[in-house]
Structure formats: C-alpha cells, structure tokens
C-alpha cells in the first residue's frame, strides 16, 4: 500500500512541476544594480548589473518593494551637475544608469530632476533587489 501512495505522489509532483515555466520563477537573491536602476509601474523596477570580467550586462525585472539601499529607496551620489547649471551637488538618485562613458552616471532624483554624476562603477552606491526575474 505504501508503494501506491508513493507512485501517486510522484505522478502528481511530476504533473505539477511540468506546469512551471521560467517566467514563474522568482529569484530571491541579492541583485546589486551596479549599472542601472529604473522604476516602472505596478511595483516593478528594472535592475541592470554587469559581470565586469565578461562585460556582460544582465537585466532583471524586480519587485520595487524588494529594492533598497540601506533604509532608502534611493542611492546617494555626490559630484553631480545639471546641464543647465554646472553647480556641483549631492543627490538622492531614485533612478540611475551608467552611460558607458568613463565614470559617468545619469541620475534622476525623487523629484524627477536629472543630473550627471561622476562615479567609478566599481565603487558607485547601488540599489539591491531581492525579488527578481530575468528580463526576456
């Protein structure tokens, strides 16, 4: 009798796992968004990270509520300027992106004002997200 239950369990488990697709998998690992972070709609965010040895950039769709930099949902960046005003300031960057130019990030503060900030990607402050899926 024990073998019958085991066979039924295995059959049901096989049917259940057959319905799981890659889109259903949520990765619950810390993703350090070192080259970009942007806020979408409906609690979504896009996290960009780079494997510097291969220069490969990966993009993840994350739950915005799982993305933090310490106690904040922004990263502090200093040495920032606006195109219209070259005054240097520190900003709270709610969204940011590495431009590909040496040590240059774009930064949008929570008010939606855009800045250019100078940071080496290996030392730039980053958002980290826990609940993410690879973007297709």
State how far the Cα of 13 lies from the Cα of 98, in Å rounded to an integer.
44
Mean pLDDT, 10 residues at a time, the chain of 136 residues: 41 38 45 93 94 88 96 96 91 96 95 95 92 90
Identify the pLDDT of residue 23: 43
DSSP 8-state class, residue 66: G
Please tell me the pTM assigned to this model. Answer: 0.76
Identify the pLDDT of residue 10: 40
Q: Could you state, in order of their start, the residue ranges of all structural domains in the chain?
A: 25-134
Task: Please list, in sequence order, all residues whose beta carbon lies within 8 angstroms of the beta carbon of residue 88, skipping any fewer than 6 positions away.
Answer: 78, 79, 80, 81
User: Facing residues of 46 across strands?
Assistant: 38, 61
């Amino acid at each position: 009798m024990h073998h019958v239950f085991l066979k039924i369990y295995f059959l049901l488990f096989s049917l259940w796992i057959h319905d799981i697709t890659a889109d259903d998998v949520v990765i619950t690992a810390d993703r350090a968004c070192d080259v970009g972070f942007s806020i979408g709609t409906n609690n979504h965010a896009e996290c960009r990270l780079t494997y510097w040895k291969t220069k490969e950039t990966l993009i993840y769709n994350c739950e915005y509520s799982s993305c933090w930099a310490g106690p904040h949902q922004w990263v502090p960046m200093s040495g920032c300027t606006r195109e219209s005003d070259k005054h240097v300031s520190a900003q709270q960057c709610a969204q940011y992106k590495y431009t590909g130019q040496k040590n240059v990030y774009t930064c949008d503060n929570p008010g939606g004002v855009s800045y250019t900030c100078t940071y080496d990607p290996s030392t730039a402050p980053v958002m980290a997200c826990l609940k993410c899926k690879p973007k297709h």
